Structure formats: structure tokens, C-alpha cells
Structure 1
Amino acid sequence: MAQSPARAWRIVLEKIETDLLDGGLGPGDHLPPERELAAQLGVGRSSVREALRVLDVLGLIRTATGSGPSAGAIVIATPRGGMSALLRLQVAAQGFPIDDVVRTRVILESAVVETLATVRAPLVEAITMLDAMDDTSLTPAEFLALDAEFHLALAEASGNAVVAATMAGLRTAIESYVLQGAERIADWDATAIGLRTQHRQIVAAIQSGDAAGSRAGITDHITGYYAHTGLTRH
């Protein structure tokens, strides 16, 4: 079955990340040509290019056009320290049980919003994501991608680098599960309206300094979605 473009580039990214972490690729090695990677992984060349762009931004590869030994994508660094741990978590997260992912999200994100409410932290990036989600023409995949950005923005606003990195590492697994859930929803528009309302209520509780309300709001929001879609027993 063909992969959707929104998810296909992640397949490429995860393959290369795994090879980097396992030592199959190292500094100085050339990545296979775009056409070869696309055929090997069953994705489009645009998905390969998107994955390479991400690796380039991370400083792990360098890409050059033309021909000769310096052309194409070349590995220039091996993931180390925090980045290595983050990438390993991202790869491993694909096999985590959904109930464990949900419980972990509740633990991390309830602590995040409580911290934010206690200091009434500015939520500029998170609110930007909410404004973008107000666009009613968004597909479920587009909406949920912004939803993931919103939750990550909250984690980053907390100032806790470990929590933010953990949320980033779990992001692929989270997006995969929420997209699975969206496919089970008969009335997506009504669900999206409910999610928008919950997001705004969480932000309002944080901005008013209501730590308990923030915790309750994020917990109900996370567990409610998975239960609504039938993905969990909660």
C-alpha cells in the first residue's frame, strides 16, 4: 500500500537515522542516489528530498549538485550525545504500545502545563499553532500535524530541555497514532471543533495561572481523543 506524502519522508528519515546510529553509515560515506532510495523504500523522490533536507538542517549530511565524488548527499557527522539519544528514541518509539505512549504523554504534558500556569509563561508559538488550526479547509493530516506542533510548543515553552527532547523524540509515534485514530472518526469536522475548544481552554487556564485546571484539561484532552477513536481502553 502506498504511503501518504505526509508520512513517506519519515520512512526515509528513519532508515537513514537507523543506519547512522548502527554504524552502517559514517562520516565520508555517500548516501544512495535519490532514485535508488525512493525505489528501495517505496516512496516518491520528493519524500527523499524532504528527509535529506531535515538531515542537512541537523548538520548530519551535506548535499551538493553536479557530478563527481563530491556530488550527492555525504555524511559529515555522526549523531552524538543528546542528538544520538533523541534519534534512538524516535526510532524505538515506532514500536511502543499505544497505552504506554498515552500514559507518558499525560505524565509529561500535565507537568508541562502546570509549570507554565505557575509562571504564566508566554505562549506565542503555541497560540500561533492554534490560530493556524482554525482554518476549516485543513485536512485531518494537516490539522493533526499542527496539533503535534502545538503540544511540542508547550513543552518547549516550559524551558525543560529534557521534556522538550523527549516529546520531540516521541513525536513520530504520537502523529502515527493520532492519524490512525482520525481514520476511525465518522464526523471529523465535529471532532476538530471539539479539539480546538479544548486547546483554547488549556491555554486560557495556563494564562490565568490555573495549574489544576491546566492539568485536568490536558489530561482529559489526551485521554479523551484516544478513547474517542477506540485506540485505547481509557
Structure 2
Amino acid sequence: MAEQSAPSRAWRVVLEKVENDLLDGRLGPGDRLPAERELAGNLGVGRSSVREALRVLEVMGLIRTGTGSGPSSGAIIVAAPTGGMQALLRLQVAAQGFPLDDVVRTRLALEEAVVESLARDPNRSIPAARRMTEVMVASDLSPAEFLALDAQLHLSLAEASGNVVITAMMAGLRSSIESYVREGADNIDDWDATADRLRREHVAILDAIDAGDAEKARELVHSHIAGYYAHAGLSR
């Protein structure tokens, strides 16, 4: 049994080697991984296992691969693997791997950090979020259209904060967030009144950010997210 299972684990040896080299500083963004033949020989695994490991690393967004012999060929470490994190989170969401309560608590932690960071940043700039509030005033928006814009507004704040990890996590969780807020809209009798309240809350959050009031911005975004969750009957 051990001999049969060993080949299925061999590609993990390659992943561990790359991870250790990154942690120890032997590899960094822009560096090229050794060729397949060299990795296979040095690690004592088959070239098929090396190729499997490279496919995993590429899906994770940690490397990009190119064919040929030029400067863009081979497997190269990517500097900002946000796409991989987004993809992994989206897959977990699609597989219903995250309980809704955990998604909401994570969203609260991320968005409170975002608005606090923006409020404390003297160079903050949130024109994209302001534009979203203007578009959301339209009276002919369906609940689904309104909530899609709502999700884009919140994502634009994460992007404006400059924190690429939070932005990647917010983008990865976006489908789950949109799903639960749409589900909540079906439970709300007076949607128009709720939409008006959400618009006012958005503007108040942005005003607090622009005023540099980090504590107020944090309290407002917490109330905004948790309030909708409770009002829509989604609380567990």
C-alpha cells in the first residue's frame, strides 16, 4: 500500500521544496524555477509529478509558465498571486464549504479594517465608491441590480485601501456575499424603504471616511452589514 500511495504524494514534495525556498529567500518574485528535469533529479521524483506540482502552483496563482527558450519561458514566480486566492475562495464558496455566519463575521472583520484604514489615510481616494452611490439612486433598479452595485461599492473600498490580501479575499467571497444578500432581499416586505436606508448608510460611511473619523466609519459599516443580515432574517 505504501508503494502505491507514494507516487500520488510525490508532487507534494515539489510543492514543499518551492514553499521552503520562498520562505528561506532562495526564491522570490520574478525568479525562475529550475527545469523539470533538474527538479525531478534533485528531489527524486518523476517528471510527471513535477508537472503536476507546477499545474497546482499555476492554478494557485503562484507561478506563470511559458513555453520556448526566451526570457518568458519556464515557470516564474508571480509577485502578487491574488488571482489564485480569489479562485480558491470562489471554489470553496461554490462547494458551500463556508457557513453563512462565518462568511458574515469574516466580512465584518475585513470591511471594518478597510474603512478604518481609509479613514486614517490622508491620501485616501474613494471616487469609485462615490460613483456607485450615485448610480444606486436610480429608481428602476431591481433588487438584484441594486445588490450587485452594493457589492461593487464595498469591493471598490477594499481596492482603494491598497491592501491586496483583503481585496483578494473580498473578491473571492463576493459571490457568497451577493448570494446571501439576494436571499435576504426575498425576505424583506418593503424593499424600496430598505433600499433607501441602505443608500443613506452608504453615504454616511463614505462621509465618515472622508472626514477621517475611523471609529465612526467602523461602527457604521458594522451596523450596515449586521443590520441587513438581521433585518433580512438571516441571523442564526
Q: Which TM-score band applies after superposition, normalised by the shorter structure? A: 0.5 to 0.7
The one-letter code sitting in structure 1 at the alignment partner of 2:106 is: T
Provide TM-score, normalisation by structure 2: 0.64
Q: Report if the CA contact (8 A) 1:98-1:232 is conserved.
A: no
Query: Counterparts in 2 of 1:1-234, with a 5 A limit?
Result: 79=59, 80-81=61-62, 82=81, 83-94=83-94, 95=96, 96-120=98-122, 121-233=124-236
Give the Cα separation in 2 of the matches to 1:84 and 1:109: 21
What is the Cα deviation at residue 97 of structure 1? 1.0
Q: Report if the CA contact (8 A) 2:111-2:158 is conserved.
A: yes
Give the Cα separation in 2 of the matches to 1:217 and 1:160: 20
What is the Cα deviation at residue 86 of structure 1? 1.6
Task: Map Cα deviations across residues 140-162 of structure 1 (whole Å, 9 max, x no partner).
Answer: 00000000000000000000000
What is the Cα deviation at residue 85 of structure 1? 2.6
Gapped runs of 5+ residues in structure 1? 1-77
What is the Cα deviation at residue 136 of structure 1? 1.1
Q: CA RMSD in A?
A: 1.0
The one-letter code sitting in structure 2 at the alignment partner of 1:89 is: L
The one-letter code sitting in structure 2 at the alignment partner of 1:117 is: A
Gapped runs of 5+ residues in structure 2? 1-57, 63-80
Q: Report if the CA contact (8 A) 1:201-1:217 is conserved.
A: yes
What is the Cα deviation at residue 232 of structure 1? 1.0
Please tell me whether Structure 1 or Structure 2 has the larger radius of gyration of its CA atoms.
Answer: 2
Determine the structure 2 residue equivalent to 1:9.
none
Identical columns (%) = 52
Provide TM-score, normalisation by structure 1: 0.65
Q: Report if the CA contact (8 A) 1:129-1:146 is conserved.
A: yes
